[in-house]
């Protein structure tokens, strides 16, 4: 079963179960996938869908601090629940040590020696970590190892 089919099935199940949070999270993910497909006129494979879901999770993670400042616990709980629902569709996230190994290999293969080479290293690392690690974390590890 493709990821797109799984999203549709989970949406139906959430509607049957009356799970509003899961329904909303899956609907938003499906909507984002369908919008990208419509805009680019391309049918996405599972990797493309994972990328979009990762962006949806990132959006929610980025808005979480704003909600925490407002003190609206109901919205915070709802947002955290949506993040957990969406994370189920993402591959297992890489640990920092696993990312470091990938970055060290990229540094060796690109011959990077200083902070000026961050772009070169990031270009080599991102295809391996896309959807499996947060880009900010990857960038931070690259900076630490090159700096």
- 44: containing domain: 3-88
Residue 74 belongs to domain with CATH number: 1.10.1510.10
What per-residue string of b and e applies to 63-95 under the rule 16 or more CB within 10 Å gives b? eeeebeeeeeeeeeebbebbbebbeebeeeebe
pLDDT in tens, 36-52: 999 999 998 988 899 89
- 23 lies in the same domain as 72: yes
At which of 51, 66, 88 does a domain end? 88
Taking the whole predicted model, whether its pTM rises above 0.85 is answered as no
Give the helix/strand (H/E) hosting 10.
helix 3-17
> What phi and psi values does residue 97 have, to the nearest 5 degrees?
-70, -35
* Same domain flag for 25 and 83: yes
**Which two structure tokens, joined as six digits, stand for 95?**
């640990």
Q: Which segments of the chain have a pLDDT < 70? A: none
Residue 52: predicted pLDDT: 92
Of 88, 118, 135, which residue constitutes the final position of a domain?
A: 88
Quick one: pLDDT at residue 85?
94
Phi-psi domain of 18 (left: phi exceeds 0; alpha: psi -120 through 50; beta: other): left
d(CA 44, CA 50): 10
How many other C-beta atoms can be found within 10 angstroms of the C-beta atom of residue 131? Answer: 19
CB contact at 8 A, 33 and 52: yes
Q: What is the pLDDT of residue 134?
A: 82
- Are residues 23 and 81 located together in one domain of the fold? yes
* Domain match, 84 and 67 both: yes
């Amino acid at each position: 079963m493709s990821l797109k089919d799984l999203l549709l099935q989970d949406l139906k199940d959430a509607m049957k179960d009356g799970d509003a949070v899961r329904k909303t999270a899956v609907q938003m993910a499906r909507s984002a996938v369908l919008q990208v497909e419509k805009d680019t006129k391309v049918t996405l494979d599972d990797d493309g869908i994972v990328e979009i879901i990762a962006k949806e999770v990132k959006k929610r993670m980025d808005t979480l601090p704003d909600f925490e400042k407002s003190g609206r616990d109901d919205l915070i709980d709802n947002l955290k629940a949506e993040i957990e629902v969406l994370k189920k569709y993402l591959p297992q996230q890489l640990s920092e040590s696993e990312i470091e190994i990938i970055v060290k290999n990229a540094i060796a293969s690109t011959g990077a020696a200083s902070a000026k080479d961050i772009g070169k290293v990031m270009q080599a690392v991102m295809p391996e970590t896309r959807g499996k690690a947060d880009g900010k974390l990857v960038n931070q590890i690259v900076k630490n190892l090159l700096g």
